[in-house]
Homo-oligomer: A and B are copies of this chain.
Amino acid sequence: MHYALIMAGGAGTRLWPVSREHMPKPALRLYSDDSMFQIAVKRLDPLFTPENIFIVAGKDHSHVLAEQVPSIPAGNFIDEPMGRGTAPAIGLAAVHLAAIDPDAVMAVLTADHHIGNEAIFREVIAQAIEAAQSGYLVTLGIKPTWPSPEYGYIEQGERLSEFDGFRAYKAEQFVEKPSSAKAQKMLDLGNYSWNSGMFVWKVSTILEEIRMQMPELHGSLMRIAKALQEGTYEEVLAQEWPEIEKQTIDYGVMENASRVAVIPVDMDWLDVGNWASLKTLLPADKLGNSVRGDVILEDSSCNLVMGGKRLIAGIGLEDLIIVDTPDTLLVCHKDQVGKVRDMVARLKQEGREDLA
């Protein structure tokens, strides 16, 4: 069987002040009446039934997410006691799925990416499942549209001839967020994809890779797996998890794994990482303003205004992000959205966790 694992951890501090400690990014309704998490679940239909969709999220976030998608069984929410990065989170989910079905194929999916063409998305996931059944660690590559220095890249090697229904390539190399110059070079070469953070593999394959490359994590996971059988899961998880080292799946496994395939896809994809990227998803008026709520703008262009019930009056504004919440207002120049995260860090440092 194949299963979807939606990664819904992560605070999304770059979308503060709408995202908060207690209200994670996937739960936000940013560009639709549905939350990003609800959208991420809906686009899996009919490839995965709700029973086959699992979610890994912070313990404090699961109930918010579960409420938003009541069709998914409560037992499918896998709680992380605390964030330890994608490698442990994926390992933990793999342990759960292996307990249900040792031959399971798992599609590791995101909840904070916009995918414009969902039919293509499902098609490529189906192809990736086929490749995963042959033992590959499959990554979904996104055809780059500009030389972004904010994404990781994957170099495509030779085409894998065993798949003739679709194009899959040997993944030659993972490239961390590059300089703009290097990004431009990769865009020109044409054989690089953005690393979407979406992967498909057999649980047995990924657990074997973890065993070889992250033996300590593997040891923890095996003790957790045993506890799952013996009915001591909660205690053992609470004991093991804090000791586990933080690591991403890219660093921890993918970069040095042997049988990695990449399937490049063009599906109108966007990492809704910050307010500037969200802006590109929202409809804009003739002057490029995207507004929500009770907003009046005069002599203003290319702004994003996320209002609420209060009136927001803007005069003579350009390239600003204005986000209004009941207890906090953010006004930020579009070129500086990267610093929103620093603002949240500063608030925490100053003991103002209630606003962070």
Residues of A within 8 A of B (CB): 17, 296, 298-299, 310-317, 320, 322, 324, 326-333, 335-337, 339-340, 342-343, 346-347, 352, 355
Contacts and interface: CB of A to CB of B under 8 A. Distances in A.
A315 B342 CA distance: 10
Contacts of A329: 310-313, 322, 324, 329
A298 B337 CA distance: 11
Contacts of A313: 17, 328-332, 343
A155 B332 CA distance: 47
Contacts of A346: 296
Given A299-B336, A336-B299, A343 B331 contact: no
Contact of A328 (B310, B339, B340, B347): B310
A330 to B, nearest CB: 5
A333 B311 CA distance: 17
10 contacts: A17-B313, A296-B347, A299-B339, A310-B329, A313-B330, A313-B332, A314-B332, A317-B333, A322-B329, A324-B329
A289 to B, nearest CB: 13
Nearest to A299: B336
A316 B346 CA distance: 16
A79 to B, nearest CB: 30
A312 B102 CA distance: 52
Contacts of A299: 336, 339
Task: Point out which of A313, A330, A346 has the most chain B C-beta atoms below 10 A from its C-beta.
Answer: A313
Task: Point out which of A299, A322, A327, A331 has the most chain B C-beta atoms below 10 A from its C-beta.
Answer: A331
Contacts of A336: 298-299, 315-316
Nearest to A346: B296
A333 B300 CA distance: 10
A343 B296 contact: yes
A17 B342 CA distance: 31
Nearest to A322: B331
A346 B352 CA distance: 39
Contact of A315 (B312, B315, B326, B332): B332
A186 to B, nearest CB: 29
B316 A333 contact: yes
Nearest to A339: B315
B298 A342 contact: yes
Contacts of A333: 315-317
A61 B322 CA distance: 34
Task: Point out which of A316, A317, A343, A346 has the most chain B C-beta atoms below 10 A from its C-beta.
Answer: A316
